[in-house]
Amino acid sequence: MKKKIVTSLAAMMAVGAACAFAANPFVDVPSDSWAYKSVVELADAGIIQGVDGQYFQGNRNITRYEAAEMVAKAMAHMDKASVEQRALINKLADEYADELNNLGVRVSALENRVGNVKLSGDARVRFQHQSSGESNGNDGAGYKNDSSWDYRVRVRANAKVNDRTTVTYGISTDDINFADDGAASDNKNIFTDDAKVDYNFGGDHWNLSVGRTDTYVLGGENAYGFQYGDVFDRAELKYTNDHFAATAGYGKFKAGDILAGTEADISAGTEDMDGVKTGYGELEGFFGGGRAAGSAIGVYYNDFTVAGGEGDEQYGDGFRADDLWGAYASVNFGKWNALANYEKINSNNSYLEAGNTKDPEVWIGKLTYGSADSDARGSWDAWVEYLNSDKGALLGGATNSWRDDSVLNNVKSWGVGIDYTLAKNVILTAAQTFGTQTKHGNAADPDEFTDVEINFLF
């Protein structure tokens, strides 16, 4: 095995013009050995170190971990290699992927190889339950029998163009419900949910991302995502360091029931999310050490417009919010995390629906213990949350929450849940609302909502 590895890695190091080699560091490699030139090159590059710094022991079989360590060091020289040489190293890296992962090379080098295209994805099977009733979800039909079950599959291709540029493309199915009695061929539900280019610059502190992202969480990834956490077309610039992050962007919502349209559309009940755009900014601070490491606070702002949609929408501004601002705090203390999130919407009075609260607010608190790691079978977390939202606070987007809209808007509601890693890359999530009450008006309290899902990552 040693001859194969040394020959392969030496071929990789033979780039550029010939150069003078360092002195042979190993006393047991004679100058007339077939491997002399390759051994000296690799030792000079720091890829091999020998035994006790003096002996190469060329007749000894090496372990897979020793081979993987040499491959990892070769990967650090990828910028010197030609396309053919990178392909050779990539082949070796694939061969020793498990060992490289155990050596901690996976994120820092293996997944960042220039010229590498990585395929990944996930599949979800979900069960939801809520009784039928006017105040409940699914247009009052609730979630029962076949309507309780759905599934979704997503596939991603991530290509590293160069050290600074990455291209991502992904496709997804809709949430396909088992209550659908049509033929499978009738379901034209596969769509592009991710198509973007990311360019990293400024000493790795700046990132410019342009295109479609599968998950834009309104408020940032550390916030709850009450309003939105789905497909979004945007241009976004972000600065990040160890203590601070600033994000600015502009884009259009591409999922959910965000209300937009003319006054006539609203009166006729035919409004939809066509044409709703937002300019947004986020400021975040990161703090804590030891047991508090990873804590963060942030503020965010979104300004909404409606323009350029199809039909009548392009002539009117039918969205019922002018803008929105919010703040969050996510504090770690050992195995515990406490999240607090507040949002306030400034209403568009021209389209304020009857009974809705003017300038509605949302308060959310969540306490989590533990962490469900997809790589660690048997790891888990458990959490409890409380949500207090005014009527009209939910603008109709595809929320990042596990809850149905009926237990998000105009409610005071508790929730409890658990995440458990059944096997590597297989995570079970179970969540349940309780104590849910209508906050404003005389409408009946919505029935409690159950969500159970299994996610398979690949």
246-298 pLDDT, tens digit each: 999 999 998 865 544 444 444 444 444 567 899 999 999 999 888 899 999 99
Q: What is the pLDDT at residue 199?
A: 95
Mean pLDDT value across residues 419-445: 95
Mean pLDDT value across residues 24-36: 72
Contact between 373 and 421 under an 8 Å Cβ cutoff? The reply is yes
Lowest mean pLDDT: which of 293-302, 352-361, 377-386? Answer: 352-361
Contact between 141 and 169 under an 8 Å Cβ cutoff? The reply is no
When pLDDT is cut at 50, 70 and 90, the band that residue 37 belongs to is confident
Tell me the range of 247-261, 346-360, 425-439 where mean pLDDT is highest. Answer: 425-439
Q: What is the pLDDT at residue 108?
A: 47
Q: What is the pLDDT at residue 265?
A: 45
Lowest mean pLDDT: which of 18-32, 119-133, 159-173, 192-206? Answer: 18-32
| Distance in angstroms (rounded) separating the CA atoms of residues 7 and 3 | 6
pLDDT tops 60 at residue 4: no
Among the listed residues 215, 98, 94, the one whose alpha carbon sits nearest the alpha carbon of residue 156 = 215
pLDDT tens digits for 137-147?
888 888 988 88
When pLDDT is cut at 50, 70 and 90, the band that residue 6 belongs to is low
Instruction: Provide the mean pLDDT of the chain.
Output: 82
Q: Please classify residue 218 by burial: count the beta carbons closer than 10 Å to its beta carbon, then call 0-12 exposed, 13-18 middle and 19+ buried.
A: buried
Contact between 236 and 208 under an 8 Å Cβ cutoff? The reply is yes
pTM of the model: 0.73
pLDDT tens digits for 51-107?
666 777 666 776 777 777 777 777 776 666 666 667 777 777 777 777 777 766 543
Instruction: Reduce the DSSP state of residue 236 to 3 states and report it.
Output: strand
What token pair was written down for 160? 């590293």
When pLDDT is cut at 50, 70 and 90, the band that residue 20 belongs to is very low
Q: What is the pLDDT at residue 104?
A: 64
pLDDT tops 90 at residue 219: yes
| Distance in angstroms (rounded) separating the CA atoms of residues 217 and 170 | 18
